[in-house]
Chain A
Amino acid sequence: MSDIGGTAAPLLAARDLAKAHGRTRALDGASVDLAAGEILAVTGTSGSGKSTLLHCLAGIVRPDEGTVTYAGERLDELPEKRLSELRRTEFGVVFQFGQLIPELTAVDNVGLPLLLAGAGRAEAQQRAGEWLERFGVRGQAELRPGAMSGGQAQRVALARALVTGPRIVFADEPTGALDSLASEQVMTALVGTARESGTAVVLITHDAQVAAYADREIRLTDGTVARAGVTA
């Protein structure tokens, strides 16, 4: 089954993706479209292939079969150098545990992608500060991740994912380690900012209350996209 809708050309389109980890087929013919600025929740039980789908869509892993097309480019065929450039400039990624660099302060963590993209230190610090402000964690700018709460660290990770102005943010269980109120703060910040900036979001979650922040939900069952609203 697939999730191929809309009349406008999607920003990101995956067709018939298959990916095996050893003998396990994590993806088995999954197809999905993502429109520009759309917030899409991908739900499903553990082992349904959600994270593998996200990795294929974000160009982190290559599918064994099928195609992933982003703005006219076939991600599954691109050389690693171009993929890495896209991941640095067009995509932002957030995981369950923000994966901030523990030795760097919040503002340096957020400024890092800008430095990698060639910005000067002063500019990187200033823009990072602005993004921390937008996510309500300006007060934590000089703290290292170990000194922050889980919710604060995750908002810093979101600021880092969005600081370069990506067209798509891939978020893999971004609230999986948070309590419900911290989860709400993170989701409100993510969705509010994405809508303001027209950034599309692929949101992997097992939590229906988190999925309810999205415009649309697809459900994965055994590595394939079920019909809309299918209960696995």
Chain B
Amino acid sequence: MSTRHILLGLLAQGPSHGYDLKRRHDERFPQARPLAYGQVYTTLQRLVRDGLAEVDGTGSDGGPERTAYRSTAEGTRELAHWAGEIAPPAPFVTNEIFAKVVVSILSGGDPEAYLRAQRAAHMERMRELTALKTAKGADLATVLSADYALNHLDADLRWMATTAARLTTLTAEVDTA
């Protein structure tokens, strides 16, 4: 994920300082890893260096002094370009689950047992995400990010179900390769 573009996106709503950007990032992307303050400030400095953001002013509001940043016209153009750019479909065949099934077959393991356990773990996580998004007062960011995770876990599950059904064939192919 491009932190610089996400920060530019948050700045599109108006000038903001690093602490506030970090807090809004973590709220908007609840399933993502929380941003470290250091990463926020480094990214802001790079945005300024590249002419995509500039200092809006400094203030303390009775607390420590904080520098607010705003997007430049170039930053707005860059953000629009990035947001409209097609993301390459990810090569999910390199996924860890896939690798473990193949390695398990190669090493004479028990891929079916692994798939059973993995399915149970996926379902447990899907129950948690479903509870999260259907909780009273869940905000849109939480619902969207839970939906995104649920759909990807669901895709994994469908692949695992097909793989379990194919295991006999797959084992024969790997054994003879």
A binding-site residues for B, Cβ under 8 Å: 45, 184, 188, 191-192, 208-209, 211-215, 217, 227-232
Contacts and interface: CB of A to CB of B under 8 A. Distances in A.
Interface residues on B, range: 20 to 34
A227 B116 contact: yes
B114 to A, nearest CB: 10
B154 A209 contact: yes
Interface string B151-177: 101100110110011000000000000
B123 A208 contact: yes
A166 to B, nearest CB: 22
A228 B123 CA distance: 11
Interface of A is mostly: loop
Interface of B is mostly: helix
Given A211-B123, A212-B123, A217-B123, A231 B134 contact: no
Given A208-B126, A231-B164, 14 more contacts: A184-B134, A208-B154, A208-B158, A209-B126, A209-B130, A209-B150, A211-B123, A211-B126, A212-B123, A213-B130, A229-B120, A231-B115, A232-B161, A232-B165
B127 interface: yes
Interface in B65-98: none
A228 B115 CA distance: 12
21 contacts: A191-B134, A192-B134, A208-B123, A208-B153, A209-B130, A209-B150, A209-B151, A211-B123, A212-B129, A213-B127, A213-B130, A214-B127, A215-B127, A228-B120, A229-B116, A229-B117, A229-B120, A231-B112, A231-B115, A231-B157, A231-B160
